[in-house]
Chain A
Amino acid sequence: MTSPHLLWLLAGIGGLLILASVLGEILRSRLSPQGENPVIENLNARISAWWVMVILLAIAFLAGKPGVVFLLALASFAALREFLSLTHYNRADHWSLVACFFLVVPLQYYFILIDWYGMYSVFIPVYVFLLLPVVSALHGSTRDFLVRVSETQWALMVCVYCVSHVPALLYLQIPGFEGRNIILIAYLIFVVQLSDVLQYVWGKLLGRTRVAPTLSPSKTWEGLIGGTLSATAIGTALYWMTPFTPLEAAGMCLLITLMGFFGGLVMSAIKRDRGIKDWGHLIAGHGGFIDRLDSVIFAAPIFFHITRYFWSAT
């Protein structure tokens, strides 16, 4: 499972985090020695949380396929818990919600684990889509029925279906790339998250013009262009550890960073509608699991299917 390239990537990320931690401490001692500057405090909280996330991912990578599948199943569970906490409530949905957590999540990841592509790609969009509303309907309450079943289906698509395409990358069979699929996951997460970080940095440094003022005050054109282009440049420079040529890597990076940006935008729209700032509180400085995963959620299925269509033998 471990390849020298993965170790290189992890070492590189470790180096970046050390650099970020040192910079964060310097900024704190200069601008916020008593913790009075909320931006600096939030920055340092984010960096500490990054350490935890990277260490957990690294452990899962070293544990191999079951480790990665299990970690992302847990992330799906936590994200679903956040999403469904904000949806319309009706007592009649109790059993369909129980089924989402204790049946749909384990089954979807089980299908991934046994590499049953024909099942995991239709399980939620077809079977769950058709059967879950039946459970709610049988309990009789029609109030807000369409809203309730749509919200639940959306929650499952976003938090479970999309996220499960991250571990699904492990099972693609790319000629000449055998045994190194974990790189695909590390690469996807690294480029998308790096783009988020760089959009934040560029936005803080140069951000003037907002992309969608009604959705998010922090998304600016300067941040978007600077972030996606610099993340694409770094991702392209790492083409040698992927199955892609430099040009292909650049196209792939541009695609997933843009999808990541759209993910953040759509999730912001939902948060705005519900009158909340963050999805949760479990990842200090970032908010909830969905706040951190939103870009990966939108990028993962597209990255998976394009890689599968053009590069995979199956």
Chain B
Amino acid sequence: MKAFLLSAAARFTGQAISLFARFITAPRAVWQGIEPVPTQRVYFANHSSNGDFVLLWTVLPPALRKRTRPVAALDYWLTSPLRAFIGRDVFNAVLIDRRPEVRLQDPVSQMAEALDEGSSLILFPEGGRNSSDQPLLPFKSGLYHLAKARPEVDIVPVWIANLNRVMPKGEIIPVPLICTLTFGAPLHLAPDEDKETFLARAAQALLALQPQVQS
């Protein structure tokens, strides 16, 4: 009974958060390189706000959304009961520990495990929120190791435009502005590609999706 109530509350909260995200950002998905079909994928995106994965999750069609789990930092999402409820129960996040010295499980094997269970993943390879003037921070190596561990899975770049303006790091009230999410063509690790080359190629593919609007 308690489990049922918890899952109902989680579903309801998920819908409410999604609706709120739509009200604020009227998000628009541009499927440039792929179609919204239920193929197993690792979506990787630029990360400037805590709303990033909510927005990506919101624009996925419901059938895909159900099978897609964000990868999030355990050291952030388990620090309060509310965050734990949202991270674990509402979004069913794969919670990884960013602190190598204390973690019990390797993040890449956790992600590979989630893929083996049939889930798709949402990943932010910058490793944290970007509040610099650079469009992207250097990628952490997790994306490469995951691409190596599960080479058959599509690695899909997703550029999230404008969300850093909606809710800059440190602000609590969002400004309603339109956000666009552009989905690019899938990447795979080439047979003899090394880590730096692959990560540079992935970052390049992501940057190439930025919408060209003068402002």
Contacts and interface: CB of A to CB of B under 8 A. Distances in A.
Interface of A: 77-78, 80-82, 84-89, 91, 94, 97-98, 101-102, 273-276, 280-282
20 contacts: A77-B176, A78-B26, A81-B177, A84-B175, A85-B178, A86-B213, A86-B215, A88-B215, A91-B168, A94-B171, A94-B175, A98-B173, A98-B175, A273-B214, A274-B213, A274-B214, A275-B212, A275-B214, A276-B213, A281-B26
Contacts of A273: 214
A254 to B, nearest CB: 35
B22 to A, nearest CB: 10
B130 interface: no
Nearest to A275: B214
Interface string B145-185: 00000000000000000100100100101111110000000
Nearest to A102: B173
Chain B contact patch, size range: 10 to 19
B interface, over-half SS: loop
Nearest to B178: A85
B180 to A, nearest CB: 9
Interface string B181-215: 00000000000000000000000000000001111
Contacts of A85: 162, 177-178
A89 B165 contact: yes
Nearest to B131: A91
Contacts of A102: 173
Interface centre among B28, B173, B212 (most CB of A within 10 A): B173
Nearest to B175: A97
A101 B215 contact: no
Contacts of B212: 275
A91 B167 CA distance: 10
A250 B165 CA distance: 47
Contacts of B173: 98, 102
A98 B175 CA distance: 5
A80 B171 CA distance: 20
A274 B213 CA distance: 6
B163 to A, nearest CB: 11
Nearest to A273: B214
Given A89-B165, A91-B168, A84 B215 contact: no
B178 A82 contact: yes
A274 B173 CA distance: 27
A282 B26 contact: yes
A294 B215 CA distance: 21
Contacts of A98: 173-175
B213 A81 contact: no
B178 A280 contact: yes
B215 A81 contact: no
A281 B26 CA distance: 9
A86 B214 CA distance: 8
Given A94-B168, A94-B171, A281-B28, 16 more contacts: A81-B26, A81-B176, A84-B177, A85-B177, A85-B178, A86-B213, A87-B215, A91-B168, A98-B173, A98-B175, A274-B214, A275-B212, A275-B214, A276-B213, A280-B26, A281-B26
Contacts of B215: 86-89, 274
Contact of B178 (A81, A94, A101, A275): A81
A305 to B, nearest CB: 30
Contact of A101 (B168, B176, B213): B176
Given A85-B162, A91-B168, A275-B214, A101 B26 contact: no
Contacts of A276: 213
9 smallest CB-CB distances across A and B, nearest first, come from A85-B178, A97-B175, A85-B177, A81-B176, A281-B28, A275-B214, A98-B173, A101-B176, A89-B165
Given A78-B26, A81-B26, A89-B165, A275 B213 contact: yes
B214 A101 contact: no
A155 to B, nearest CB: 11
Contacts of A91: 168
A190 to B, nearest CB: 27
Contacts of A280: 26, 178
A94 B49 CA distance: 15
Contacts of B178: 81-82, 85, 280
A280 to B, nearest CB: 6
A293 to B, nearest CB: 15
A84 B25 CA distance: 12
Contacts of B165: 89
Contacts of A78: 26
A72 B120 CA distance: 41
A94 B212 CA distance: 23
A163 to B, nearest CB: 16
A272 to B, nearest CB: 11
Contacts of B174: 98
A276 B211 CA distance: 10
